[in-house]
Structure 1
Amino acid sequence: MFPPPTKPQDADGSIRLTDNDAALARLSAVQKNYLSDLFIRFLVPRPHLQAPRPPLINIGTFVRTTAIDDLVHQWLSLSSNAGKKCQIVSLGAGSDTRFWRLATGPLKDQISAYMELDFPEVTTKKAMAIKKSKDLSAVLGDPNDIKLAQGGICLHAPKYHLLGTDLRKPMSENLGPLVSETTPLLDPSLPTLILSECVLCYMSVAESSAVLQWFREYFKNSVLGCVVYEMFGLEDAFGRVMVNNLKSRNVTLPGAEYSSDVNVLPKRYLDIGFTTSRALTLREIRRAYVEPEELERISGLEMLDEVEELDLVLQHYAIISSLAVSSQEGLSLWEQWGLRVKERKSEDD
C-alpha cells in the first residue's frame, strides 16, 4: 500500500515559532525581575506553568529590551521637543508588548499611531488575546472603537493598528491601500520610528531593503528613524553553531549580514538613504550603555557561571539605529537621538 499523503510543509511555521521563544524569554526575564512588564502574561499561554530561561537568556533579553526602550523613549521625547506627535511601526511585532507599556507610561500622549505587522497566523492569535483580555483591550480605548478586520487577522483602535501580512510582498500591497485613503493610518508629515527585532534576517536582503526603501520614500519629507536588532558575525565558529542550531529547527537566515565587523552593518542603511546609521553589539551596550546601577541590580538576581559564553552570544547580536532627516534644520535636533555611554564611578569616588 502507498503511504498516506503528507500535508505540504509550512515553510514559515518555524519562523513563526521563534516568536514563542521571544515571548517566553521576556516572560522569564519579567518573572526573574530583570524587567517590568504587566502585559506579557496575557500573550503567553499558561504563563504560570512556563519554565524560566537560563540566566544567559535573561541577561540578553534585559540588554536588548533596555537599549531599544531607551531609543524609543528618546524618540518620543524629541518629537515632543519638535512640537509634534510621532508614529511607531513595528515589523514582525509578534507578541511584543511595547505599545501597552508606552500607552500606560508618561509619554503616552506623544503617540499618534502605533502599527504592528506580522504573519496573519500571528496577528490572529494576538487579536484574539487582545479581545479576550480586559487588561489589554482597556488600554486601547472605548470597546466600541476596537474593530476586527479581514476575518480577524487585523485589529484597529484609535491609536493602535494590528495588520496581518507577509512583509516579503511589495509594500504597495501591504500598506499602499492603507496610506492612500483620505485619512491614512500613517501621516507622512509626522516623525516615524520603525522597529524590527530579528525579522529582516528571515527575508532576503532584496526583500528587506525594499521594505526599508518604501518607508524612506514615504517619509522623505519628514523624519524617519529605524531600530534594527539582528544577529551577525555568523561565519566564525560560534556563529556557525548558531546557524546550525536554527537549521535543525528548519529556520534559515537568507538575510543575515555575514560580516564579522559590526562597523560594516550601517552601510546598507546609508545606501538606502538614511542620513546617519550606527551599530553597537549587545556586548558593547551591556558594558558601557546601560546604567551602572541597573547592571549592579541584575547582577544580584541570578548566579551566572557562563560569563565567557554570555560575551560570545552578545557579541553576535547588534542594534543598528539609523536616522533620515529631510532638512538640515531638523538634523540639529534629531542628531541627539542615540544610545549614550553611561558614566561609571571611578574607584576613587
Structure 2
Amino acid sequence: MDRAIQQTDYDAFSCKICAISKMYLPSSKELEFCGMRGFSELHMAYAQQLKGLNRRAYGKVQTAIRQGQPLMNYGTYLRTLIVDIECKSFLENAANENSKIQILNLGCGSDLRMLFFLNQYPQLTWIDLDFAESVSLKAKILKKNEQFRNTLGEPQGADDTEYISDRYLLKSCNLNHTQKVLDILLESSVPEVPTLVITECVLCYMDLSQSQALIDNVVSFYETGTWVSYDPIGGNEADDRFGAIMQANLWESRQLELPTLMFFNSVEKYAQRFEDETKHTQIETVWQYYIQQIPQEEKNRLKSLQFLDEIEELKLILSHYVHSKSSW
C-alpha cells in the first residue's frame, strides 16, 4: 500500500509538468503575487534530471504531456494555485511580525515550491517529509542541479538519501509513525516559531486514527500556526456516487485505498478533522474557489488553452475536492 501511495507523487508531478506545457501554469498570480519567476524552467529542469534517475517516472511525465485532458489541467492549475497563494499569504503576514518563520510540508513528494519561497524569505526554514523512496530520489535530483543547491544551501554530510542545509531539510519519514515525525520536528524545528503545515492530498490516504494522531500531535507541537490541506471528499448526497466510483477505480487500477473518503464526505465533516485542536477553520470546495476567486479574465485565458465542453463534469469533480485552512 505504501508503494502505491508513493506512485501518486509521480502522477501529481506529471500533471504539473503537463499543465506547464499547456501553459495553465504559472498563472499571473503565481508570477506577480507569489514571485515565482522561473517556475516553468525549474520544473522542467527537475523533470530532465528525473529522466536519468527514474525512467519509469519520467515516462509518466511524457505520457501526461501527450494525453493531458482539460479536466486534469484545470484541477492541477487550481490545486497548485491554492497552495501557492496560501504559502505566500502566510509568509507575508508572519514576516511582518516575526524574525523567523517555518513551513512544514508533510508528504512533500516532488513539490518544488520551497525553491521560490526560500529565495524570497531569508528568515524562512523549510522542512519536507515523505517516504524514503520519494525523498531519496528528490535529494539526488536537487543535489545534481547547481541552481537548486544555490537556493537551498549546500547540503551537509555525505548521505545521498536526504538533503540537509542551514535552511532546508528533506528527510524520510512514514507519516503514519507520529512519534518519528515528532522526533524530526524536535530536532529540526522550533515550536515557538510560527509554522505553516501543508498536507496536499495526503490525509486522504491515511487511516482515521493515524491521520488524526498526526494532526493532533503536530498542532500541539507548535505554539502558533496554520494548517493548509487539500483533499478529495466522497459526497454526502443520496444519489452522489462520486466517492464510491473513485474508490472502486483506484482499487481496481492500483490496489489503492482512501480510508476516510466517505467518512469526511462533506466540507462540514472534513472541517471536523481540525476542530478540536485549532481555533478556526475556513473551508470551501475547489469549485467554489474557482467560481469566487478566479477572475473572469483568468477564466477566459484558461478557456483559450484547450477546448472544454464538460463544464458540468468539471463542476462535479471540483465540488468533490476541498481546500481548508485552520489556525491556532
Task: Compute the displacement of 1:40 (Å).
Answer: 2.0
Q: 1:80 aligns with which of 84, 95, 98?
A: 95
**SS of equivalent to 1:67:** helix
1:109 aligns with 2:116: no
1:36-91: CA deviations, max 9, x gaps? Answer: 32322233334684442111111111111111111111100111222333100000
1:290-341: CA deviations, max 9, x gaps? Answer: 23332222221111122111111101100111000xxxxxxxxxxxxxxxxx
Q: Is the Cα–Cα contact under 8 Å of residues 243 and 262 in structure 2 kept in the other structure?
A: no
Q: 1:158 aligns with which of 166, 174, 177?
A: 166
Match of 2:233 in 1: 232
> Partners of 2:184 and 2:228 in 1: how far apart?
25
> Partners of 2:307 and 2:185 in 1: how far apart?
49
> Partners of 1:260 and 1:51 in 2: how far apart?
29
1:287 aligns with 2:291: yes
Q: 2:192 aligns with which of 185, 189, 194?
A: 189
1:64 aligns with 2:64: no
Q: Is the Cα–Cα contact under 8 Å of residues 56 and 310 in structure 1 kept in the other structure?
A: yes
1:29 aligns with 2:19: yes
Match of 2:302 in 1: 298
Q: Is the Cα–Cα contact under 8 Å of residues 231 and 256 in structure 1 kept in the other structure?
A: yes
Match of 1:308 in 2: 312
Match of 1:323 in 2: 327
1:129 aligns with 2:150: no
**SS of equivalent to 1:318:** strand
- The amino acid that maps onto 1:68 is V
CA 189–282 in structure 1, closer or farther in 2 if over 3 Å, else same: same
CA 208–114 in structure 1, closer or farther in 2 if over 3 Å, else same: same
Task: Compute the displacement of 1:148 (Å).
Answer: 4.8
Q: Which moved more, 1:160-169 or 1:249-258?
A: 249-258
Q: Is the Cα–Cα contact under 8 Å of residues 224 and 323 in structure 1 kept in the other structure?
A: yes
> Partners of 2:140 and 2:72 in 1: how far apart?
28
> Partners of 1:177 and 1:263 in 2: how far apart?
32
> Partners of 2:272 and 2:182 in 1: how far apart?
26
Q: Which moved more, 1:277-286 or 1:292-301?
A: 292-301
1:176 aligns with 2:183: yes
In structure 1, the gaps of 5 or more residues are 1-10, 325-349
Q: Is the Cα–Cα contact under 8 Å of residues 234 and 240 in structure 1 kept in the other structure?
A: no
Q: Is the Cα–Cα contact under 8 Å of residues 204 and 255 in structure 1 kept in the other structure?
A: yes
CA 301–177 in structure 1, closer or farther in 2 if over 3 Å, else same: closer
Q: Which moved more, 1:115-124 or 1:254-263?
A: 254-263
> Partners of 2:82 and 2:267 in 1: how far apart?
17
| Greater helix fraction, Structure 1 or Structure 2 | 2
> Partners of 1:43 and 1:93 in 2: how far apart?
15
**SS of equivalent to 1:35:** coil
> Partners of 1:191 and 1:229 in 2: how far apart?
21
Q: Is the Cα–Cα contact under 8 Å of residues 23 and 40 in structure 1 kept in the other structure?
A: no
> Partners of 1:88 and 1:69 in 2: how far apart?
12
> Partners of 2:283 and 2:121 in 1: how far apart?
28
**SS of equivalent to 1:161:** strand
Match of 2:44 in 1: 41
> Partners of 1:265 and 1:177 in 2: how far apart?
27
**SS of equivalent to 2:309:** coil
Larger radius of gyration: 1
- The amino acid that maps onto 1:155 is Y
**SS of equivalent to 1:266:** helix
Q: Normalising to structure 2: TM-score of the pair?
A: 0.85
Q: Normalising to structure 1: TM-score of the pair?
A: 0.80
> Partners of 1:233 and 1:269 in 2: how far apart?
18
